[in-house]
Each structure stands twice: as C-alpha cells, then as structure tokens.
Structure 1
Amino acid sequence: MKSLIITTFLAVLLHLPLAGQSLTPDQLQADFSRFRTALNEVHPEMYRYTPKPVFDSLFEATAARLNRSMSQHEFYVMMTPLLVALRDGHIKWIVSGRDEHYPFFTDKLFPLKLYFLGEKAWMMDNYSTSPVPIGAEIKAINGKPMHQIIQTLLPMMTFADGNGIGGKLEDLNHYFSGYYATFIDAPTAFDVVCQVGSETKTITVSPVTDQTIKAYVEAHKPTPQKPFRLTFMDTQTAVMTIERFMGNKKEQDYKQFLHDSFQEIKAKNVQHLVLDLRDNEGGEESWGILLYSYLARQPFRYYDHISVHQKKKYSFPAWTSKLYRMLKGLAVKKHGNAYALAWHKGLRNTKPKPEAYQGKLYVLLNGTSFSVTTELAARIHADKRAVFIGQESGGGYRVNSSGIFTITQLPNSKIDLGIGMFGFNMANVAEHADRGIIPDYLVEPTADDMLNHRDRIMEYTLKLIQSQKTALTKGE
C-alpha cells in the first residue's frame, strides 16, 4: 500500500458510528449521490475493468433499492458491490471511528484462525479455546458449506486489482472473523463441521471479541527482523528479502542497504539471486524504481503514464493533499481525453547502476504482494528479467491506482470513502489485462506447510537453482 496518506487515513473525520440508527430514504439517496459523484470525479480509471454501461446499471439498481429506511450496516453492505466492481484493491470504505476489519461487530466473532486455499479452509489455531482439532478441514459453519461461505465473501471483498483472488484469500487468512460477521452473520454460537482424516464431526464453539483476536495476533507476532535482508545460501546463491518499500529514520537506510548489498553480490560473484517480495504490500514508488536500477540490464522507462481523472476542483467536500492542490496546476497536463501527471521519476529513462546485478534472478510472490511491489514485479516480468515463483500477486499487472488519496465522508451514514487519485500505468507491458503477475512456477503452501512452518516456495526455488547448477556442471 502506498505510504502517502495511508497512515493518516484512519485519523481523519472520526465520528461515532450509527450502526443502531435508522437512515431515511432521503438520507440514503444523499449519501449515494456523494458516493457516486466522488468516484466519478476522483478515480483515475473507474471503467478499466467494468465498462461504463455496466457500472451505470449497477448504480441505477442500487439507487432503486434505497427506497426504505435502513441501518448503517445495511447501507454499508448494499454499497460494497459497487466498490468491488472497481477491481481496485486500494479503495477505502471505512465506518468512521471503527476498525475497518470489524466495522459493526466487536463481539460474536468466529473464534478459529483459518487458512484458505481455493474453496477450502483448515483450522490453524484458536483465538481462545475450543475442542476443534488443529489441522482439521472446516467443512461447514452453521449449516453453510465452506465453499458457499467463500463464494459469498469473495464478491464482497475489495483487496485485489482486476479479477485476481489471491489478495482476497490472503485477507481471509487474517480477517475471516470480521468478514463473516459483516457479510454473513454474528451469531451467539457456531456449529462447526470439521474433518480429520476420515472422521467428520460437528462441534459447537462460542464466539470471541475483536480484542481477543487482536491480543492473539499481538502474542503471535514473529520475532522482529530487519525489513531489508541479504542472506548467502552458498558461494553462488543469495536471497534478498524486502518486506516493504517504506521505512523510517530509526530503521535501516534503504538506499545504503541496496548499495552495500549489490556491491557485496558483485564482489562475491553471485550467479543466482532470489528476490523475496512475499507479503510486501508496497510503499514508495521511488523505492521500487531504485531497486530495479540494480537489476536492469539496459535503460528502462518504468511508467508509461500516470493518469488523473480531472484537474478542476471537486464539486463535493473532501480532504486531499494540500501540496497536491497547490501544484496540480503545473503537475497535471492533458493526456488524450483525460489528464496525467507530467512529473515523476518513473516517467524518465533510467540507467542501470554500474554495479547492477547481471546473473539469474528469481522473484517470489504471493497474494499480499501488492501496490508498489506489483509495479516492480511487472517491470521485471515485462522485461523478461526473472523467473517468477509462488502465487499470483494481489496487485494488477498493468496498472496500480493509488498514490495520494482523496477522502470524503458520507454526510448521513458517516462512512469514509478513500480513493487513490493516480493510475500508475506500467510501460511496455502486454499481458494479463485483468490479472496480477502469474508465476512461471505456481507453488501454493498447504495447510500442513503452514502448521509446520515449512516454506514450500523457498524450498522449491532453491531446488530449482540447484538443478540448474547441476545441469550446468554436466554441460546439459
């Protein structure tokens, strides 16, 4: 996720939630109008994945349903499919003053931590206590089969660009309890059908609170490591891990890390470099560009253009960057029938660094590889610079809509809508118009891998490298 504004988002426009208050049809229509106007005036490429006629039909159908009084929760759920239709994983839809993952229910939450793969789920741990066995496949919850639960939730989830679902499944791994409560039910008990081996049984478990879940997450955080790491596996193989493309002055200096690392890689004559970008949600665009300057074999242009919907002032109350408002008269120029940023480092040709790595490159991705991370991966992939291993990225291959955000609060429901203003269109890409980066070798961790802390993707990569070394030694 882009660092600019994300850290500020939850702090602005806080109001008490209105979950128990009924909103009149007039109030709902007013909020709907603000919602639609904001998307139309701010989103840089609203119709990239869903054509305008389809979107207009969705808007009209939704407006027709706002003909009765309803709660904030009902309105939130009814509007969510319109956001999903954007296929924009950066869009923000947050009840003011509430945790975005638990917007309406802070209790009556599902008490088991699950792992999702395809249309199945497995029990990884308890948030409190329950007799459901660790490792059991969860077949159904309160009479609803797991595949139906997943099919119900995925169309209500926004964390994905285009038509990929990898990011959504990763989101379920972390926040299933919140999604289930918001979009399915928040009952006083859960009847869980689970299977271990050939045995299937139903176990009733009690719900937990969001504080219990957060306490579990805090207690099970991995041992802190430096966010940028270089590890040598042998004399010819190195692994570079980049956890995020942002930091602070108290942490490692990213630029210095890259400079020192690639100097060392060159000095040691490394022939195989693994770039681990799994679970990296992104950050600063310039950090991705800088890293690629250490990997590129020839001068490159990172972005083709950076789209902006309009240059004029918005017709509705909103918050956005003061600096952008001051500079957009100079920075935003006409681009075809729309507008684009005229200034950005990624729009220029960039030369590789003198110490740029020239050997074989392997890039590891998963569904949480997003935003700036996917931009970098797209540039590497389009230039045929690396072999990709793991799972499809959560971010889109061709474009990433983010950057500076515009935030407006719907006046009656008090829900904050945050919209990324820039469409970062990658240069010279020709594949997967509606998907993320699809690996050359699809490797998906199993439930057993997760339980036993086995890194199947890294193991596969190192075996692939070893096989290539062996083939080279034999002269194959």
Structure 2
Amino acid sequence: MKKIILFFFTVLLFVHCTSIKRHNAQLNNLISAEKLKSDVDFTYRKLQELHPKLYWYSSEKDLDYKFDSIKTTITEPMTSFKFFKKLSPVVAAVRQGHVVVYPPTKKMRKKETKALLEKGIGPLSQFDFELFNEKLYVIKNNSHDKSIKIGTEVVTVNGTKPIDLIKEYSHFYSSDGFNTTLKTSTSGKRFSSFFTTANGLKDSLHYNFKYNDSLKTITIRRTKEDTTGNQAKKIEKKLLFKDKAKLKALRKKKRVNGYYSVEKNYNRNLNFLEKDSSVAVLKIRSFKIGDYKSFYRESFAKIAAYNSKALILDLRNNGGGRVTEIADLYSYLTYSTFVFLDKSEVVSKSSLFKGAYFYGGSVGVKALKTIFSPIIYSYILFTVNKKQDGKKYFKTQTKPRTMNKNAFKGKVYVLINGGSFSASSIISSNLKGSKRALFVGEETGGAFNGTVAGFMPRVKLPHSNIQIRMGVMYMAPHFKTTTDGRGIFPDMQIIPTIEDRIKENDPEINWILTDLRSGI
C-alpha cells in the first residue's frame, strides 16, 4: 500500500513539474491572430455569463464596440504578455475594480522558490513607495543602506522612470465607477508589482535617487534580512517561552488580531489617544485574516471600560474582505436594528453555481465538490429567486439585525482614502447613509452604491493562458446615493503630502483631535 501511495505522489509530482516546464516554455511562444481573437470572444462571453452588472458604468453598445475593435487590431501573432497589454484596457473599460486581468508569468518549482527565499529579500521589497504629484518616493527603507532617507525620490529604476510605468499600467485596471482616488492612492504601492510584471524577478537593481536636489546612483541587491539585534531577540524569545502565560497571550493575539508575518504587523489594532484614553482608534488593515468576532467583542468591551467618548475607525488602504465581518462590526456602531445589505443580484442560478462553487481547489477538492454538488445546487435553487424586475437575487446579510448590546454610543470618525475599497466602502456607505459617522480623508476607491464581488472565480483563457478574475454577485449596501459611480466623499477632505510622511505626521488624526478638543 505504501508503495502505491508513493508511486501516486511521484506521478503527481512529475505531472506538476512537467506542467510548470511546459507553461514556462510557452510564455515566449507566438499565438496566432485567430486564436487571440477567439480569446477576446471567450472573455466577453464569460463576462456576460457571470457578471451581473456588466453594463453598469459602460453601455452594452460601448463594450460591444470595444471588444469588436480590439479584434481588428490583432493582425499578427503575438506573445501572451503582449496580448495581455492589449486586452487589459478593454476589460478595464467595464469600470469594475474586482474585474482583474492577470498575465501569465513564469512559475517556479518548490526548490527554486526555496532557493530564492534563502537568497533573501528582493531589491524592490526592501522599500515601501508612495506617489505624490507624479513622483515616486521612499516612505520606508528596510535596506542595509541607511543613507537612503524617507522622502527620497526614485528617479529611475534600471533606467525606467516610475511614472512612465505607472501611467502605462494604470490603463490595465480600474476602480469601481469613475473615481480616480484608487489609482492615485495605490499606484505607488503597486509600482513594485508593475515593475516585476514587466521585467521579471531581479537579484539587483540600479536606483537613481534624488534627495534635497542631490542625485546619486545606488545598486540594491537581494539580501538576507538584517540580523542586527537578533541576539537580543533570541534572549527575549527564550524568556518568553519560559513565561507560558505571556506566550499564550501572544499566540492568542496573533490568532485574534490576525498577524502578517512578512510585514510583522497585526491586521487589527486597538489603541487609545489622549491621557484619559477618551479617544479609541480601531485600525483595520483588511477584513480578512484573524478571529474578528473575538476581536470586536473584546475591543468594544475595553472601549466601554475606558469610557472613551470618541472612536476613530481607520479604514485607509483597507482593500476589503469578508461581508460577515463588516456586518458584525456595524452592529457595534449602529444606533438601532438594521438591514446591512440588499439582496445580491446574480446573472443566473448557474452563474453562482459554476462561477463560485466549482472554482479553485485541487483535483481532490474538486472531486469532493462534485459529490456534494446536488446538495449545493439544490440550496442555490431555493435561495436564488427572480423578482418582479425579472432579475435574479441571492440573499446574504439581508435579514434585520439588532445592534450589539455593547454598541458604542459616542462620536464616530471614519478615516478613508482611495485605498478604501470593496467591503471598506460597503460599511462606509451604511455609516454615511445612516449619518452615524463623520468621514475624514479623501473619496474612497470603492463605489457608494455597492460592488460586484462575493465569489470571485478566475477564468482561464483557452489559448493565451491569461486569467481573468471577476465577481458574480452585485452586493449593495442598504443606503444609496444619487451620485452613481463615485465613492464615499469625506466630510473633511485632507490629503497627506510627502512632507507629512517625512515628519511622520498624520494630518487626518490631528484634525480629528483638534475637532474633539474644540468641542464642535
């Protein structure tokens, strides 16, 4: 039996390695014009089959024209990457941020991945970047070269001007609707992925930096993590392991708050400002990892114990996550019984079934899904219903819910920016619509009137191997606005500058504290 199992896994490993080799070999192959045109038709057909609000921001006539027009420009064979650059702007014309085109990239075997990790951190990952006035700046330096100050401008990377690459790639993706803040807020952070997509992984890069009108060229190489102070950390860890209570508390915090091992920070944090802890700050980086129910239960109990008068909910650069989490968080902020979402529109019962249930997973997982598919399909059959408008809807978070017994009664501020997207925008829409909070920052990258997300399958194009991710459920907050296609606007607009980053100044928080102290 052991020999059979060993043989089975050997075969799987061989097939996997062969698949990787074949995939990488095809990256530079030229694909015929006819096959690429077929992939264009396939893309549009899948969008029509799965996306319930395809013509929300672009009319059917406009999208028909764009998809027909791109086929006329395909007159000769090209690589899948060149085709990606052609197809992406057309898909982005849907103006839905969850619709993303992924180019085929080189895959690595486990040994190659392990070897790369052992070599250390890449030359792009050693910095955090942000864009201000079309210039890319270093806002965090984790490299060994400490001469690179916060606020240093990145003039070129291997001869490439950052703004040129950022502008090119800005055509390949979209926000929800017509706002521009998502791109202005996140394009600097995305520069590293843009550069890697265009140039592949690099072990060294030549940076041209500018600081206080002084130019210098520095080569940054892939390097292992800075081990300075590791001895002190080892001693601290030994002491921690001896103290079982502290170790247990640390493990619990990582589990509840959600811990990002690469960034070495927590997904959720609760802090208090002012000497009397009268201002609580909830920083939520995403609505994804961690035990959110325990976190919010413990956090709001602590806020009540500290008798805080104001709460700042920081959703800046929060790209979204679980709807169940934001509904739970909202129950601690509302004044009364509430309905969180309207019924979610879907194209059809089969779109929810095929596009969500059968997406992803290993061969074994897909086999199990097939076995249970009659039960799941029966569930979808009874929960997806046609309304009088002729459209089909799926119920999720639509039942009236009561406010949590420990709901916060004081003043609520919400910090938002262009990086506040998806679930961040949905909870913000309900807080704004119910007049429960004052918003500070800039317009969100997600739309006020909802987004198409929920289950998000990736569809693989048959000839180019490009993948396209799309949502299959239109999820609408209970509150709406007449200004369609735009995000949640702040009551007080404050846009940070590079000087704020250099001085580690948070102008949005500062404004809120001033507002509270003035008694307004």
TM-score (norm 1): 0.79
Deviates more, 1:393-402 or 1:318-327: 318-327
Which of residues 14, 31, 34 in structure 2 aligns to 1:26?
A: 34
Once the two structures are superposed, the pairs formed by residues 212-291 of structure 1 within 5 Å of their partners are 212=222, 222-225=263-266, 227-231=268-272, 233=274, 234-248=276-290, 253-291=291-329
Structure 1 residue aligned with 2:494: 443
CA gap of 1:70–1:338, structure 2 versus 1, over 3 A, is: farther
Task: After TM superposition, give the deviation of residue 388 of structure 1 in Å.
Answer: 0.8
Task: Establish whether residue 327 from structure 1 lines up as the match of residue 379 from structure 2.
Answer: yes
| Structure 2, unpaired ranges of 5+ | 1-15, 108-115, 117-121, 227-259, 361-368
Any idea what SS the aligned residue of 2:495 has? coil
Q: Read off the aligned partner of 2:359 and give its amino acid letter.
A: T
CA gap of 1:25–1:175, structure 2 versus 1, over 3 A, is: same
Structure 2 residue aligned with 1:7: none
Q: Distance in 2 between matches of 1:389 and 1:298?
A: 24
Q: Read off the aligned partner of 2:384 and give its amino acid letter.
A: V
Task: After TM superposition, give the deviation of residue 61 of structure 1 in Å.
Answer: 0.9
Q: Read off the aligned partner of 1:16 and give its amino acid letter.
A: H
Task: After TM superposition, give the deviation of residue 59 of structure 1 in Å.
Answer: 0.6
Q: Distance in 2 between matches of 1:358 and 1:294?
A: 9
Task: After TM superposition, give the deviation of residue 334 of structure 1 in Å.
Answer: 1.4
CA gap of 1:340–1:108, structure 2 versus 1, over 3 A, is: same
Q: Which has the higher contact order (CA 8 A, sep 6+)?
A: 1
Q: Distance in 2 between matches of 1:66 and 1:108?
A: 36
Task: After TM superposition, give the deviation of residue 183 of structure 1 in Å.
Answer: 6.2
Q: Which has the higher helix share?
A: 2
| Structure 1, unpaired ranges of 5+ | 1-10, 100-105, 472-476
Once the two structures are superposed, the pairs formed by residues 97-136 of structure 1 within 5 Å of their partners are 98=106, 114-124=129-139, 125=141, 135-136=151-152
Which of residues 164, 187, 195 in structure 2 aligns to 1:172?
A: 187
Q: Distance in 2 between matches of 1:344 and 1:316?
A: 18
Q: Distance in 2 between matches of 1:215 and 1:62?
A: 46
Q: Is the 8 A contact 1:90 1:402 kept in 2?
A: yes
Q: Is the 8 A contact 1:116 1:170 kept in 2?
A: yes
Structure 1 residue aligned with 2:92: 84
- What percentage of residue pairs aligned between the two structures are identical? 24
Q: Read off the aligned partner of 1:330 and give its amino acid letter.
A: F
Q: Is the 8 A contact 1:110 1:207 kept in 2?
A: no
Q: Read off the aligned partner of 1:77 and give its amino acid letter.
A: K
Task: After TM superposition, give the deviation of residue 40 of structure 1 in Å.
Answer: 0.9
Structure 2 residue aligned with 1:376: 427
RMSD: 3.9
Q: Is the 8 A contact 1:87 1:163 kept in 2?
A: yes
Task: After TM superposition, give the deviation of residue 417 of structure 1 in Å.
Answer: 1.7
Any idea what SS the aligned residue of 2:468 has? strand
Q: Read off the aligned partner of 2:170 and give its amino acid letter.
A: L
CA gap of 1:315–1:389, structure 2 versus 1, over 3 A, is: closer
Q: Is the 8 A contact 1:392 1:438 kept in 2?
A: yes
Q: Read off the aligned partner of 1:255 and give its amino acid letter.
A: K
Task: Establish whether residue 391 from structure 1 lines up as the match of residue 429 from structure 2.
Answer: no
CA gap of 1:277–1:131, structure 2 versus 1, over 3 A, is: closer
Q: Read off the aligned partner of 1:352 and give its amino acid letter.
A: M
Q: Read off the aligned partner of 2:286 and give its amino acid letter.
A: R
CA gap of 1:87–1:139, structure 2 versus 1, over 3 A, is: same
Any idea what SS the aligned residue of 1:303 has? coil
Which of residues 150, 153, 156 in structure 1 aligns to 2:172?
A: 156
Any idea what SS the aligned residue of 1:376 has? helix
Q: Read off the aligned partner of 1:241 and give its amino acid letter.
A: K
Task: After TM superposition, give the deviation of residue 42 of structure 1 in Å.
Answer: 0.6
CA gap of 1:424–1:154, structure 2 versus 1, over 3 A, is: same
CA gap of 1:305–1:368, structure 2 versus 1, over 3 A, is: same
Q: Is the 8 A contact 1:113 1:127 kept in 2?
A: no
Q: Read off the aligned partner of 2:283 and give its amino acid letter.
A: T
Structure 2 residue aligned with 1:16: 23
Q: Is the 8 A contact 1:188 1:206 kept in 2?
A: no
Q: Is the 8 A contact 1:42 1:406 kept in 2?
A: no
Task: After TM superposition, give the deviation of residue 172 of structure 1 in Å.
Answer: 2.4
Q: Read off the aligned partner of 2:186 and give its amino acid letter.
A: D
Task: After TM superposition, give the deviation of residue 91 of structure 1 in Å.
Answer: 2.0
> 1:32-67: CA deviations, max 9, x gaps?
121111111111211111111111111111111122
Any idea what SS the aligned residue of 1:304 has? coil
Which of residues 386, 396, 401 in structure 2 aligns to 1:344?
A: 396
Q: Read off the aligned partner of 1:156 and give its amino acid letter.
A: F
CA gap of 1:215–1:264, structure 2 versus 1, over 3 A, is: closer
CA gap of 1:431–1:23, structure 2 versus 1, over 3 A, is: same
Task: Establish whether residue 36 from structure 1 lines up as the match of residue 77 from structure 2.
Answer: no
Task: After TM superposition, give the deviation of residue 355 of structure 1 in Å.
Answer: 2.8
Task: After TM superposition, give the deviation of residue 154 of structure 1 in Å.
Answer: 2.0
Q: Which has the higher strand share?
A: 1
Q: Distance in 2 between matches of 1:246 and 1:73?
A: 31
Q: Is the 8 A contact 1:236 1:270 kept in 2?
A: yes
> 1:242-270: CA deviations, max 9, x gaps?
3332334xxxx422332333334334443
TM-score (norm 2): 0.72
Q: Is the 8 A contact 1:228 1:254 kept in 2?
A: no
CA gap of 1:452–1:215, structure 2 versus 1, over 3 A, is: farther
> 1:130-180: CA deviations, max 9, x gaps?
99775344567799876665443322233x222223332343223314324
Which of residues 442, 453, 476 in structure 2 aligns to 1:425?
A: 476
Equivalent residue pairs, number:
440
Which of residues 316, 332, 338 in structure 2 aligns to 1:294?
A: 332
Any idea what SS the aligned residue of 2:311 has? strand
Q: Distance in 1 between matches of 2:331 and 2:321?
A: 17
